[in-house]
Structure formats: C-alpha cells, structure tokens
A = this chain, B = another copy of it.
Amino acid sequence: MKAILIIADGLGGRPTDYNGKTCLEAAKTPYLDDLAARGAVGLMDPIGPGICPGSDTAHLSILGQNPHKVYTGRGAFEALGIGMEMAPGDIGFRANFATVEPTPEGLRVLDRRAGRISTGQKELEAAINSIKLNDVPDVDFEFRVSTQHRGALVLRGNGLCRYVSGTDPKQEGKIIGTSHPTVVGNIDAQRTAVALNELTKKSYEVLCDHPINHRRTDAGKSPANILLSRGAADLPVFQSLTSIYGVQGAVLALGALYRGIGRALGMKMITLIDDTNSLDEDLAAIAKMAVAALREFDYLFIHIKGPDNAAHDKDAIAKIAMIERIDSELIAYLTSQVDWKTTHLAFTGDHTTPIEYGDHTAEPVPIIFVGPNVLSDKVKEFHERAAAEGGLGRFSGQALPILFNYNNWAPKFGT
C-alpha cells in the first residue's frame, strides 16, 4: 500500500474572498471534485476549534503530533529543512540577511530582504562563519543560507536555551532588537542572548566591509550588511513515524519549514530543482517527482505553498489560479498515474488564509480522503461548504494517522 498526503498551504477561505465565495469555491477544480465524488470529505480544524494555526503548529498537528505538547518554535525545523544538523541542546533560528543603517538610536532596518539578494550569499555565509565569539565561553555556531536572503543559524554548546527573543524587528524602519531572555532568572537564556547579540554585532562588522557588499552598493543595490535572527527553538524529541508505523516516507516541499518538520518526524527530504517557494512552483515537475518517489517510498507528504502566498498578498485571482493549477497540473497527473487499488490519498490545507485579512485564521479546512478502504459519501464537490456535508464530519488535525489507518498501518493502542 502507498499513501499520499497533500497540503495546499492557506487553502481555506471566507465568503469575503471573491463575490461571496471562497477562493476554493470560485476555482474550477474538476479533478479534486472527482476525488471528492469517489472518496469522503469533511472539515478538519488544523489544531482545534477556534485555534488560529501557525504554519509550523498546523503541520505538526496534521502530521499526528500534539503541538501544545511538542512545539518549541520554528528555528529548529528551518535549520533541519536546509540540511543542517540539530543535536539535543542546540538552538536553531531563522536567520536572514538584511540592510541596516546606523542611527543615533541603533541600527535601523532599511530592507529586511537585503534587496532580495540572489548572488554571492555563499561568500557572505563564509564571512559570517569566520566570526569568533568571545563574550560567552564554549558557544559555537553555524550559519547556512538557503534561498535569496534566507537561511538558518544554529548555536551549539552547553547551557543554551530557546527562551530568548530574536533580533529581527520584523518591520522595515524599525531599530533591530537586542536579544534578551523571555523568562526571568534563567542563566542559560542569558548566555544564549549574549551570544546571539555578539554574533549579530559582529555580522554587521564583517558584512559592512565585505567586497560583495561594496560591489552591491556601487551597483545601487541594498547591501546585505547584517544577519537578523528569530524563532529560537531547540528540537523536540519525536518518535519517528517509521518506528511507529513501520513505513518509510519522504517530504516533497520547497519550504525549509515543511522539509524540516518532515525530517524531524523521520521522512527523507527529496531534492527539488527549484528554490523559489512561491507561486512559480513547477507543479507538473512536482507531480512527476511524486510519482517517481512513490516507487521508492511507502508514503509522500507533498506541500504546496502557493495558495498561502497569494492570500497573504490579498490577491484572490492569484489564489484561485494557484488552486486551479494544483488541480489541473498536480491532481490530474496523480489521478491518472496512481494505482488506486493500492493507494490512499488525502488532500487538505494547513489553515485558512482569507483574502480580505491576508493572514491565518482559525476556521476548519476541507479535507478529502480517497482510496479503496474509504467509505464514500454523497458529496461530489470539494470546497468548504460541500465539505461540511461530508461523511467525515468534523475533527481536529491527525490527517496523517487517519490516512495511514486506511492502509492498515496504525498500531493498536492496547490489546
């Protein structure tokens, strides 16, 4: 048996999206409708009713974890997702190059994306990694770039702690933050904040003087003259899905977060050809890679970021178009290529991202399960309103365990 879980990020919508319809209602999705007709649909609260999910917590819940118990932050998954190693006690951060200028109040952020830098980042990474930290003994670090201005930072050493604030003010025009403990009286948090502050200060020193930034400035581009960090997290200890279910899967995702969560749970990360993580995702290529990977792995977790990006941009037309591309390029190909006698597939979103609001909200998202062991229901369309009439009712997260159960992979709790 094979299993496929597809998460379309930010899939859910509201009637304010587009002429009284959600984007998913407005989109033409004949292949998803066909899956709905053959399978069963329902509504899934990504974490629980009324809980507004982050991308990280939603995915943990959908993949079978309880984020209230295991979630420590995003940085560790970001680091794992770009291939870095995280040992117990290491603290991971999301980190990105930015452009800052000195002011009497401190360093002010001019561009959080350093002009969307696209060349020379590896040299800047090397410059960062040559920094020596002196303020805190025995703390080591590693920075790695991923795409454009993005990357991850890992602090290593004894006596580190995730309870520290980041340095990224998350808004242009603001002064960069000083990391400080977010709990009182924790010496490890103090050490961690001191180390991060020293690294941030020294990153400004080495990057300001870097030849790449001189060239960028000469060319009228924003220099990547500081490394900003956020999302401090150590890695939760998970029982791997392989040890629980006895099967080996893989994650097919562009975003580091989703790759990292999959890796933390024991999935292999499939290398992708593109790194844009945006509306430009080459869905036809992803569909072909999925079918090929399905020969090697027992299950696949496929993540598509596009609908969420369009919704954060408050662009209904783009979100509808992205959903229609998922239908016609990914779902259509899988429908024709998958052996439906031996495969169960689930399709859903990780949360709602309404167009008018442009950020995550807590409504349940529609979900399809299809395959030989699924009791079909009467619903023949796939969107929020149709899913409310489906045979699966309403439940919270756990889509991957539910999918695996259809493959008879679920271990018995008790006897």
Contacts and interface: CB of A to CB of B under 8 A. Distances in A.
Nearest to A374: B15
Contact of A16 (B15, B43, B373): B373
Contacts of A414: 53-58, 67, 71, 74
Interface in A354-371: 354, 357, 359-364
Nearest to A44: B49
A64 interface: yes
B398 A392 contact: no
| Number of copies of this kind of chain in the complex | 2
A361 B56 contact: no
A361 to B, nearest CB: 6
Interface string A63-107: 010010001001000000000000000000000000000000000
A408 interface: yes
Nearest to A356: B373
Interface string A38-51: 00101101011111
A402 interface: yes
Contacts of A384: 375
Contacts of A411: 52
A210 interface: no
Interface string A379-404: 00000110011111111111111101
26 contacts: A14-B373, A15-B375, A15-B376, A16-B373, A42-B394, A43-B393, A48-B398, A49-B396, A49-B401, A49-B402, A50-B398, A50-B404, A51-B401, A52-B410, A55-B415, A57-B413, A67-B414, A71-B413, A74-B414, A74-B415, A354-B373, A359-B412, A361-B410, A362-B401, A392-B394, A393-B394
Interface of A: 14-16, 22, 40, 42-43, 45, 47-58, 64, 67, 71, 74, 231, 354, 357, 359-364, 372-377, 384-385, 388-402, 404-405, 408, 410-415
Closest CB pairs A-B (n = 3): A54-B414, A393-B394, A50-B401
